[in-house]
Each structure stands twice: as structure tokens, then as C-alpha cells.
Amino acid sequence: MIDIDKLFSDEEHALLNVGGMNDQQREALKQFAVRMVSVGSAGSGEIQEIKYNGRLIILDDGSRWEVDELDAMTSEMWMEMERVVVIDGEMYKLDDSEKVSVEEE
């Protein structure tokens, strides 16, 4: 799961009072941040194709992402047209924040 502390600077944490938020508020803020990262990001888009039992994901921009063998069972269940974003070697499915470890081919 994405660590909310890595998404914002110390100043932003203070301004937003992240430390004073309850778990539900922190999760909503995290989901918003993930959506914003995906806007215009080179490592985001829709899944065009999933191959080799979840080991390879091809996005609509043509980028190809090799999925870690241990995560292939998760990515194999994903569907074409679902939106994803890649952050620090992790591909997140935006509708539920499921993730798999990836490396660009």
C-alpha cells in the first residue's frame, strides 16, 4: 500500500494536519493523491493487454511492464481498460489500490 508520508512534504503534512486525520480521512487523501499522480504521468494509463499469466502488462501508451513473479497471480485477475499508475516500481490499480511490483521492459 502507498505510504501517505511519502506523498507529501513535511510542510504539506503540517498545512493539511495529516497527523490529526482519522484513518478514513487519510485513506481519502491518499486516494486523491494517487489519482492526481496519474494525470499526465508517463507511467499511467489503461491496461491494453495482460499476457503470460499476469507476468506482462501492456498499457494503452505501448509501455510494457514485467510483473514480479510473486505478484503475477494478482495482476492476472486485472482486466483490460482498468486504469493504473506506476510509482516507484509499483503498479497500482486505481479503483481499489491493489498493487504489483513491476519493472519497465
For the chain, give the mean pLDDT: 86
Give domain limits for the chain.
4-38, 44-104
- From 2, 27, 9, select the one nearest 89 (Cα to Cα): 2
> Which of 81 and 33 is assigned the larger pLDDT?
81
Q: What are the residues whose beta carbons fall under 8 Å from the beta carbon of 50, sequence distance 6 or more?
A: 56, 57, 58, 75, 76, 78, 80
**Averaged pLDDT for residues 3-14:** 77
CA distances from 76 to 20, 87, 96, 98 (A): 38, 20, 15, 12
d(CA 19, CA 51): 42
Q: What is the pTM of this model?
A: 0.63
Note the pLDDT of residue 42.
Answer: 54
Note the pLDDT of residue 12.
Answer: 84
pLDDT score of 98 more than 70: yes
